[in-house]
């Protein structure tokens, strides 16, 4: 049942983050960076694609998927365009997330006023 798996996996990833946040001096900025790097490393080990197969959105919605997509982009880039493909392909899969986050953040920052 993919919906249940997504709930469990997404919940567990956030739970681990919360435990690190509460029991160490790391800030949310540290946690998100750490999870991104961890995602890239799990992807390197071949584990992250399996997590996506098992837990679906529970794995793809997390920031760790950012690292996963970066690694996959770089690795597949090599097979498409040889050595330069690592550089040209690295950002190809995360382009959606980066582009839309920048566009929405910019547009909303222009339209709305900050609330304190």
Partner 1 sequence: MDKDEYKKLVKEFTPKENKLNKALIAFLVGGGLSFGGQVIVSILQITFGMELSSAYLWLCVITIFLASFLTALGFFDNLVSKSGCGLIIPTTGFAHSMTSSALDVKKDGLITGLGASFFKLAGSVLLYGIVSSFFLSILGVIIYG
Neighbours of 61 (CB within 10 A): 14
Q: How far is the CB of 58 from partner 1 (least distance, A)?
A: 4
- Taking CB under 8 A as the rule, does residue 67 contact partner 1? yes
Candidates 67, 30, 63, 31; CA nearest to 47 is: 67
Candidates 86, 93, 87, 88; CA nearest to 68 is: 93
Q: How far is the CB of 19 from partner 1 (least distance, A)?
A: 6
Binders of partner 1 among residues 77 to 106 (CB under 8 A) are 77-78, 86-87, 90-91, 94, 96-98, 100-102, 104-106
Nearer to partner 1, 50 or 100 (CB): 100
Contact criterion met (CB below 8 Å) for 6 and 57: yes
- What is the total residue count of the chain? 116
**Which one of residues 12, 49, 84, 92 is an interface residue with partner 1 (CB under 8 A)?**
12
- Taking CB under 8 A as the rule, does residue 22 contact partner 1? yes
- Taking CB under 8 A as the rule, does residue 63 contact partner 1? yes
Candidates 114, 67, 70; CA nearest to 89 is: 70
**Distance between CA atoms of residues 101 and 87, nearest Å:** 22
Binders of partner 1 among residues 26 to 55 (CB under 8 A) are 28-29, 31-33, 35-37, 39-41, 43-44, 55
């Amino acid at each position: 049942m993919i919906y249940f798996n997504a709930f469990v996996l997404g919940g567990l990833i956030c739970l681990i983050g919360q435990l690190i946040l509460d029991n160490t001096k790391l800030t949310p900025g540290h946690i998100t960076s750490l999870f991104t790097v961890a995602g890239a490393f799990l992807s390197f080990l071949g584990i992250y694609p399996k997590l996506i197969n098992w837990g679906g959105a529970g794995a793809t919605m997390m920031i760790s998927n950012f690292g996963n997509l970066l690694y996959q982009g770089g690795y597949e880039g090599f097979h498409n365009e040889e050595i330069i493909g690592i550089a040209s392909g690295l950002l190809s899969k995360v382009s959606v997330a980066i582009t839309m986050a920048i566009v929405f953040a910019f547009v909303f920052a222009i339209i709305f006023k900050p609330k304190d």
